[in-house]
Amino acid sequence: MKVINSMLILVLLIGIGCTPQSYVKTETGIKTTIDSMVVELNFYTADIVRVTKSLSGESFEKKSLSVVKEPENVPFKVKESGIHILLESELLMVQIDTQTGGISYLGSNGDTLLLEKAASATFTPFNDAGNETYSVKQSFILAPDEAIYGLGILQNGMMSQRNQQVHMVQNNTWDFSTFFQSVKGYGLFWDNYSPTDFTDDESGTEFASEVGDCIDYYFMYGGNADGVVAEMRNLTGKVPMFPLWTYGFWQSRERYKTQEETVGVVKKYRELGVPLDGIIQDWQYWGDNYHWNGMSFKNPGFPDPQKFVDDVHNLNAHMIISIWSSFGPKTPQYKILKDKDMLMDFQTWPQSGKEGWPPDMNYPSGVQVYDPYNPEARDIYWKYLSEGLFSLGIDGWWMDSTEPDHMDIKPEDFDNKTYLGSFRKVRNAFPLATVGGVYDHQRKASSDKRVFILTRSGFAGQQRYGCNVWSGDLGSSWDALRNQVPAGLNFTLTGNPNFNTDIGGFFAGAYNKSWNDGTASKNPLFQELYVRWMQYGVFTPMMRSHGTEMKREIYYFGKQGEPIYDAIASAINLRYLLLPYIYTTSWNVTNANNSFMRALVMDFPSDKKVWDMNNEYMFGQSLLVAPVLSAHYTPEKMVKVDEATGWNKGGARTKEGYPVVDFTKTKSSTVYLPKGTTWYDFWTNEKFDGGQEISKETTINTIPLYVKAGSILPIGPKVQYATETNWDNLEIRIYTDADGEFTFYEDENDNYNYEKGVYSTIPFEWNDAEKTLTIGERKGDFPGMLTERTFNIVLASKDKNVGTLNKVVHYSGEEVVVKL
């Protein structure tokens, strides 16, 4: 917040001891004035209520950038009792103290969920680029032992976000959503896009935003974590499905410098028989920095763009390509946007027209960020994207720097004008606006290809825009890997299920011994880190290898029969075996508001040991993943780099010789198995009771992985790409000791026909007491659907090898009951 002369500051607080004021009942809630503050409460659903607070006599118009839901017709009651006004829906009670203005939230049974701190609504005059407005804040009181989650992608290694302060301004590796949810089963979305401080300490839990005409937030009660996620998506947008091919393995590097090199990577994977579904073309295919993000192939290394795309497609792979939120001064986009005053003037990447680091400011690049809040600017952006790249058949977009990059920050940078006011006012919603612009335009252009966007930043509501958010340009270190587990879980708990990371870390840092020639991949210290990151990546919504300073393709890590190569290949193959499970989970994310990466508190809230657990999680409903997050074979290198210092390539190289490491030795990891269920070792079928910590033997090829009792797990065929083979001969693994069900989902694997009901489902139900599996009647159909298929039923048992067949079932769509 800017410092203002203390004699001129007027801080307006809600006083104590005010006389009760009358209220006006509206269609969706009430409006009342307490002292100098107007308070409005509006039910959006029976368990979502919007709260706005403004100063009496002030007028404002607020259209949310995140919230897309309109209020429903919710039956509710209002009554006064002493100094309180009580609003009551079927599921939620909201009480206003007319003396303090404080609001209390209670469940329908009267249990207290959340309290506003008395007299904590604050309005401080603020001049926002010439507009007289306010800085606003509101404090809440949480129970001492209450765990809360969310806030975005945070690199602090914490699961519960209690007892900390977070300054929320989007950046390269920290993505913020002004939302948290509680272990009590409620969530709170602070609907403000300006720089915001979240503070939780002994005095309370507070959101404080630099700019706001009003205090505006939503309280929602879902009953549990899944319920809160569902309410947040109900409020800010559902999650569309990605194509099946996006769930395969993706290879990338900063950067492939010719189209032959890019296509050659795909060819090499095909020759080796290692599965691959996607290749990513990084920046500078457009030429020099003055043509930055020109959305056309001006680089001589890419002489035939259509052949480039066709060659990738002919190898049964898909391509996404780098696009940015900024333009170089020699691009047509820049010239048009400049003439229309739709560019912002602050330092962004790249700062210099010359390659290399540090930037040579004698040759400024002139690159400027565009105004994505402006509908016309988004139209211009899509026009060139469509004509230059979409027309070639490129499959998706790598939207880099959607924070956007903001370097050498000056206070006046936030005074930049946008379509919606100052940049300061809408700063944190930049990724929402720029990603949303591409999604909306592509949806209008075609329904034949599902939108797929890989992007570096996210904000509340962005899940509705067909994007997977990655955690930025991390340094290669074990500490960075450890942080990704709670980072992804907390991001998921904000309502956005699609998270991924640069496998291996972007900046190799101290692991790098030679710039970009591949020899660094022979460093055992990096090899161990890369393998463990790869194994973690199997259990994220997008499995994508990427980084700079060294080559990451599997063939730089040795050859078949060598431990590191085999471990990488094994992880990739496991991903493909799980595709039927992953794609069904994807449908559950869209159709039932489920999540891929599930903090253990989501499924085991009664087990307090998991409330703050930051190193294990569920992947879908069945798999407990405990990645190996520390070095077992080599010393750890603690590497602290950021997006600026990381580019200083020369200073990061190491000179020591490679240690001799025996990666064939067996090691062990400690795993906690949540109580309330029985668990099966995925690799051995050994069975364990929940509620205990165990030691699991591991190798460089395996991590602790467990299956919940009652799970029905479909296992796919071994393939080279996701759609190589029909799923006509699936293995169905049943994990006993509990009843279970699983609804297997299929569709055309791409396009939006599923929104019209063009898909099929097959229900599986396991009755543990009777030891019967019922494969129910198939519902629905779609073009190309298999009408006849085989299910190979496997009953998990430690007395049999994993995958040992119990019974073969031929299925043609009618119900089948199998006795096992």
User: Which residues are tagged catalytic?
Assistant: 400, 403, 473
Residues 628, 483, 474, 400, CA torsion sign: positive
Amino acid identity, position 801: N
3-state secondary structure of 377: helix
Cβ 500 vs Cβ 468: under 8 Å: yes
Residue with tokens 């701190």: 117
Which of 420, 416, 430, 424 is CA-nearest to residue 345?
Answer: 416
CA distance 272 to 539: 23
Lookup: tokens for 323: 């696009």
DSSP state of 243: P
Contact between residue 779 and residue 743 where contact means Cβ atoms under 8 Å apart? no
Contacts of 58 (CB under 8 A, 6+ apart): 213
Output the CA–CA distances (angstroms, integers) from residue 503 to 271, 453, 548, in the order listed.
23, 18, 11
Q: Which two tokens stand for residue 798?
A: 């430690």
CA distance 356 to 152: 32
User: Alpha-carbon distance 805 to 820, whole Å?
Assistant: 11
The structure tokens 């229309």 sit at 340
DSSP SS3 for 573: helix
Q: Can you tell me the distance from the alpha carbon of 300 to that of 292, in angstroms, rounded to the nearest whole number?
A: 15
Omega before 717 within 30 of 0, i.e. cis: no
Q: Are 478 and 636 in contact (CB under 8 A)?
A: yes
23 within 8 A of 85, measured Cβ to Cβ: yes
DSSP class per residue in 675-703: SSSEEEETTT--EEESSEEEEEEE-TT--
Would you mind telling me the total number of residues written for the chain in this entry? 820
Closest to 319 (Cα-Cα) out of 256, 384, 382, 404: 256
Return the HEC string of 702-730: CCCEEEECCCEEEECCCCCCCCCCCCCEE
**Strand-strand pairing, 278-281 and 318-323:** parallel
Reported as type and span, the H/E element at residue 436 is helix 430-445
Structure tokens given for 510 = 């101290």
Q: Is 745 left (phi over 0), alpha (psi -120 to 50) or beta?
A: beta
DSSP conformational letter for 314: H
- The 3-state secondary structure of 745-771 reads EECCCCCCHHHHCCCEEEEEEEECCCC
DSSP H or E stretch at residue 333:
helix 332-339
What tokens appear for 672 in the block?
């906690």
Residue showing tokens 């769509």: 813
Peptide bond before residue 358 is cis, with ω within 30 degrees of 0 = yes
Report the C-alpha gap between 60 and 177 in whole angstroms: 23
Joined tokens for residue 194? 């300006």
Spell out the SS3 assignment of 593-648. Answer: CCCCEECHHHHCCCCHHHCCCCCCEEECCCEEECCCCCCCCCCCCCCCCCCCHHHC
